[in-house]
Amino acid sequence: MHQQPTLQRDPIKLRGSFSLEVILTLFAFKCMSPSAIYLSRGNHESKSMNKIYGFEGEVRSKLSETFVELFAEVFCCLPLAHVINEKIFVVHGGLFSVDGVKLSDIRAIDRFCEPPEEGLMCELLWSDPQPYPGRGPSKRGVGLSFGVDVTKRFLQENNLDLVVRSHEVKDEGYEIEHDGKLITVFSAPNYCDQMGNKGAFIRFEAPDLKPNIVTFSAVPHPDVKPMAYANNFLRMFS
């Protein structure tokens, strides 16, 4: 876990036909100004998801097999969460199947591996909020759904004010839930060239760190179909 500056954007999302260009741009920004950008791991930053949804094929087509292995290695180095000014918890997926998880527990996770199918690391990458209290099964079959009471309890126990996460397409690019204690922000407009959604990012400005949400629409891109490098089965549905 790292302290993060006042600008937050959606964690890396590798699902599209220009994923390589996107991630190399982000890495270039990180090299150019390390303290100005912090990258988070998402559920797609794993070998299995990269194979299914096309990032592996894209890298192999545009670069080489060597870079497939290098990306797999660097994904295992990405942080699972960040905290902004000790008050805002930033994560790709969501919260946990058990109460009492502290920031120290998250720091203690050995993230230098492929994500497991259960446990804290899995839930950070895969979980989603639900509109009713308590916990429930995930619509994805991995992770869980968690309610407003789970969010508020986690924030209170860790002296935090807000959860910011992504992992779900939203029509307006964002959604505020759980009595204002959780914001979903999704920065890919017209997701997979099919959803027609806006994209969004959040700017937190000192001293009060009030979220300023900025939305934007998709722009034209080169004529390459979405998920052009995915395996044959998925291309049938793209």
The total of other beta-carbon atoms located within 10 Å of residue 117's CB is 9
Query: Catalytic: 2?
Result: no
pLDDT at 236 over 70: no
In the structure encoding, which two tokens stand for residue 105, read together?
Answer: 């527990």
Confidence at 1, pLDDT banded by 50, 70, 90: low
In terms of pLDDT, which residue wins out, 10 or 77? 77
pTM: 0.90
pLDDT at 61 over 50: yes
Burial class (CB in 10 A: 0-12, 13-18, 19+), 47: middle
User: From the centroid of its chain, how far is CA 126?
Assistant: 9
Q: Which of 124-138, 158-172, 220-234 has the lowest mean pLDDT?
A: 220-234
Which residue spans within 6-126 are E strands per DSSP? 7-8, 81-84, 88-91
In terms of pLDDT, which residue wins out, 15 or 180? 180
pLDDT at 8 over 50: no
In terms of pLDDT, which residue wins out, 59 or 1? 59
Identify the active-site residue in 44, 82, 167, 178.
44
What pLDDT was estimated at residue 3?
Answer: 43
| Cα–Cα distance list, 65 to 13, 69, 71, 208, 237 (Å) | 21, 7, 10, 47, 26
Burial class (CB in 10 A: 0-12, 13-18, 19+), 56: buried
What pLDDT was estimated at residue 14?
Answer: 57
**What is the DSSP secondary structure assignment for residue 15, as one 8-state letter?**
-
In the structure encoding, which two tokens stand for residue 154, read together?
Answer: 């986690």
Confidence at 224, pLDDT banded by 50, 70, 90: confident
Confidence at 7, pLDDT banded by 50, 70, 90: very low
What pLDDT was estimated at residue 230?
Answer: 83
pLDDT at 6 over 80: no
Average pLDDT over residues 171-190: 97
Walk me through the domains of the chain, giving residue ranges and CATH numbers: 7-220 (3.60.21.10)
Amino acid present at 202: I
pLDDT at 28 over 80: yes
What pLDDT was estimated at residue 17?
Answer: 84
What pLDDT was estimated at residue 196?
Answer: 94
Please check whether residue 16 is in contact with residue 226, taking contact to mean a CB–CB distance below 8 angstroms: yes
